Structure 1
């Protein structure tokens, strides 16, 4: 049947409408695709370019060079040395066990090192480089580089590791560094990304730990190109980090070495403080240890030898040790009585060898007593009964107040580990911590530095410096940070009577320089270097009435750990004090025989700037002193070395 012209016209109209709709739809789709392509290629080009490059580019942190530490004259105490190591990146390695097995055939790897590396790699993010072995020789590193094609994800690197050129001399002051532990991370709310790098070293003790924020520095970054199997092709760019700050300490390396050598064979501590500005010139604890062993990985045998040594070489006795100060505390009691007005300088007290209070006898160190003694003679001869008597009058509250003003019972803010506050007790303290009331006997014991009273060698040196200067001298250990001088420790006047302080200083002068003084044998005969001091002996055991009746055991007849501690404090020169010294010899016996000779040698070394001159010693002692100095294990003096801030 033939179609009419009208039907043909209607059919053509329908076809044209469908074509328009179809064409419009195609144009719309093409427009959307074009717009999307423009959006992805132009507007989001940077994002997709970055995603593409991340397939072949790794960004890694560059540990900064740790800040250096020097003594007051620029002698290096802590530096950095080059350290060759091998690192593994898990995401580039593929089969970690196979890679470690291949590596073990090239460089010497112990089974425990492989196991430790395997565990470390498993617990770290896939992109974090893990150090498998370090402190390799150049030959070992070269062997790994030559075999690089067969070791995907395994890379030799060179970095910096800490080194302590003076070894044990500064172990307790500078401390040492070690790898970041889980415990270290647990103490931080927002840890530095650097701390996530396996075997990254941070300060563990001493200045290294307390000044970590200054010494660590800021990390840098580098972009490296890797191929399909994870081998590094090239370094694209590098942004160096900010190195840590350099520290200059107040200590004198030569004096420190002399102090350590002089106390060799003892369990002892000594501190030297500048009486003018509070600089800590020397702060030695004996015996010491080599901190380099901790950085490199100390063996079990070496560590056990340190922890099982009864002389406790790991403890910094200068600030951690809290000892009964014994008779070195008598200046505090005397000043409290003078300031309170309950004692006049010429007043005498009768000493029959004991004082009886409440049916209990408090004994003097001299069994037969000292007879009538005044303030000057009580210090000179260290009469205990004199201080029992005046303490009963002045009371513990005044004694503790003066002790605090002189720096005892105060935690001095030095960047050292576990600085002790010591203890200057009073009535409130005993109620709070012993749940008991204070009694008169407590006051009498405290008056001679026994009972509850405790002080560190640092605190005793500060006390002596304040007595010598009349100012609230504050100890300072950090002299400058990156060349910026730190605040001085020269304090304000103590607020104690200059007349009373002068009386105490004259009594200390008599201790060392009068024939009846307890430290006369340790006097200095050179008037320009003469010292004033105070001996002290603190008991570590109770003496029973039966033992007193039969005769008190001599220290040399007792086991070492039951002998008395020996103490001595001094300042010098007498007429114009420049230094204050404290010495504590654990279980050394008497302060006059064990501690005073050491303190005299240290004081003379600090004042003279070199080995003490024999002319400063009494003539009859010079041969003995010379022989002792010849045997000292002193370190040869060397010019300052450049321990390097290498960026290799």
Structure 2
């Protein structure tokens, strides 16, 4: 009996201990840890979803919309609402065009995603297509229609290289940018041009939606919504009316035009022809269109204005003249006799004018673009002085414009050639550099800035985004006397009796321009070819024709606008590029974007880590 009692007590004690442990655990979970578990349960029930904000607009200096947002009519499929996805897609294809690629993509996503998750089928439908599908939606099980937003470029190809485009987020983008917006399905980011440079400014801040979901992730209801902060507008220095005229004036040529304010460096027109359709990268690039772009010998994807590099030819002669004047090696009255060539050792360097120009001083040599004159002064001052002056005028290095892909061009030196080619510099190469040929390379943007600096005497740098706090450009540190000699020579190129571009002069009083022609060879003319007689450009294959160049500023007496024009394989600068520059400068002075009041509200780029470059 005692044994039984003792066992009963031990069993009862064990039960009490177990019950105590159980009660303690329940107290710990339900009382002490109640807040934590409530929060965990709430997190399973409540889902927080990001909402993409509207992307900021890109505007010209007068408020014209260069990139904006428009309604995007799209069709999505909810797989669980149709018995046969393939049959539904086939029926839908009777009313809207669905590529085989899209059908395959939808079928793949149906296998990967839950049945209630909407899958995009087609986007950017016209209103007629959208209405047609909407009317027939009862006969299209699983098909739903949505209205969203997509990026729109009203001026298309005309501004594609400058404004750029948006496209889908890549794996690399996700690795380099931790912004959660990038993980949203169908989100687009800037991939080129201003869209890329100021992408984070244009994105805005995400909103969020709190929704109740069941255990499978299906949305039951929306609990609350906080709209995001729209992206900031970016106001550019461009005048879209001038840009439109410049592109029209290029008339299908493979060419580039840059127009800048000579006092601030603001870019008023940045034209590169041919262009491309920026919307194609946003809504989906077909293989056929992509092949047409990369297979085009005119290279429509290249922004020739900032990434095209060309021998500057005779447009470089002003820099050589200033290097000679500022070094004191020669004065403006220095004369050279041109018989049509110069002999250096056993090699003959030819002037473009076979019979020669006779005796010329510096202004006359610019007026008539005498090569022999510049051979002479290049030999006197050497390549290092030429390179130093070229650098002061923005050549041989990037200028820092707010566009990706800018190239630096090339201003050769003895050290550069030894390092790159492993051979010594030759005296004859200095002569060739003196007329902007040989290794010398420049972009149209650099030539426009060079011209603006000559016109103003200021070290202006190019900018596309307008700023209210733009610093005043410093002086170049070049004497007024030297600049006056070069400006007079450029004036006589257009308005002198023997100027190489006198046929392209502006006749409107007070609007006259000063400029310089340039014709850059793309291949060396052999001695045998010269003996047979050099072929005319029109008789050569397009790829072997000379590049046509022209730079200018206007008005002559009070410079405000500077321009550079390059027509690839266009022939002579005076015949092809100069008339284009003349017409654009006339239009610039007629429109007068610098004289008309622009927008007061500029994007505060500095606060967001942006800048105008330079």
Same fold (TM over 0.5): yes
Deviation of 1:264 (Å): 1.5
Match of 2:296 in 1: 309
Contact 2:80 2:115 in 1 (8 A): no
CA–CA separation in structure 2 for the residues paired with 1:115 and 1:535 = 56
Q: 2:29 aligns with which of 20, 24, 40?
A: 40
Matched, 1:607 2:589: yes
Q: 1:469 aligns with which of 424, 440, 456?
A: 456
CA–CA separation in structure 2 for the residues paired with 1:129 and 1:418 = 38
Match of 2:277 in 1: 290
Q: 1:583 aligns with which of 565, 570, 582?
A: 565
Match of 2:599 in 1: none
Contact 2:209 2:226 in 1 (8 A): yes
Mapping of residues 399-438 of structure 1, within 5 Å? 399-438=386-425
Q: 2:470 aligns with which of 482, 487, 503?
A: 487
CA–CA separation in structure 1 for the residues paired with 2:10 and 2:146 = 67
Contact 1:84 1:141 in 2 (8 A): no
Q: 1:75 aligns with which of 40, 49, 64?
A: 64
CA–CA separation in structure 2 for the residues paired with 1:34 and 1:157 = 54
The C-alpha deviation readout for 1:577-619, integer Å capped at 9, x for no partner, is 11110000111111111000000111111111079xxxxxxxx
CA–CA separation in structure 2 for the residues paired with 1:128 and 1:60 = 14
CA–CA separation in structure 2 for the residues paired with 1:223 and 1:102 = 35
Deviation of 1:179 (Å): 1.2
CA–CA separation in structure 2 for the residues paired with 1:577 and 1:130 = 58
Mapping of residues 298-447 of structure 1, within 5 Å? 298-447=285-434
Matched, 1:224 2:224: no
Q: Secondary structure in 1 aligned to 2:63?
A: coil
The C-alpha deviation readout for 1:230-258, integer Å capped at 9, x for no partner, is 65332122232332221011100000000
Matched, 1:496 2:478: yes
Deviation of 1:277 (Å): 1.1
Mapping of residues 138-157 of structure 1, within 5 Å? 138-139=130-131, 151=142, 157=146
Q: 2:551 aligns with which of 562, 569, 589?
A: 569
Matched, 1:195 2:182: yes
Matched, 1:521 2:506: no
Q: 1:65 aligns with which of 54, 59, 62?
A: 54
Aligned length: 587
Match of 2:610 in 1: none
| 94 and 58 in structure 1: CA distance in 2 versus 1, 3 angstrom threshold | farther
Deviation of 1:294 (Å): 2.6
CA–CA separation in structure 2 for the residues paired with 1:404 and 1:299 = 43
TM-score calculated relative to the size of structure 2? 0.88
Contact 1:58 1:225 in 2 (8 A): yes
TM-score calculated relative to the size of structure 1? 0.84
Match of 2:609 in 1: none
Deviation of 1:87 (Å): 5.5
| 239 and 519 in structure 1: CA distance in 2 versus 1, 3 angstrom threshold | same
Q: Which runs of 5+ in 2 are unaligned?
A: 594-614
CA–CA separation in structure 1 for the residues paired with 2:114 and 2:199 = 25
| 20 and 138 in structure 1: CA distance in 2 versus 1, 3 angstrom threshold | farther
Deviation of 1:304 (Å): 2.8
Q: Secondary structure in 1 aligned to 2:470?
A: coil
Contact 1:120 1:130 in 2 (8 A): yes
CA–CA separation in structure 2 for the residues paired with 1:336 and 1:232 = 73
Deviation of 1:491 (Å): 1.5
Deviation of 1:266 (Å): 0.8
CA–CA separation in structure 1 for the residues paired with 2:117 and 2:58 = 30
Mapping of residues 79-228 of structure 1, within 5 Å? 79-86=68-75, 100-101=85-86, 103-104=88-89, 107-108=92-93, 109-119=98-108, 131-136=120-125, 138-139=130-131, 151=142, 157-185=146-174, 188-226=175-213
Contact 1:106 1:144 in 2 (8 A): no
Deviation of 1:167 (Å): 1.3
Q: 1:241 aligns with which of 228, 232, 236?
A: 228
Deviation of 1:226 (Å): 4.1
CA–CA separation in structure 2 for the residues paired with 1:575 and 1:370 = 28
CA–CA separation in structure 1 for the residues paired with 2:32 and 2:138 = 45
Deviation of 1:85 (Å): 3.5
Deviation of 1:138 (Å): 4.3
Match of 1:615 in 2: none
Task: Report which stretch shifted further, 391-400 or 115-124.
Answer: 115-124
Contact 1:129 1:198 in 2 (8 A): no
Bigger radius of gyration, 1 or 2? Answer: 1
| 380 and 522 in structure 1: CA distance in 2 versus 1, 3 angstrom threshold | same
Q: Which runs of 5+ in 1 are unaligned?
A: 1-7, 612-648
Deviation of 1:135 (Å): 2.7
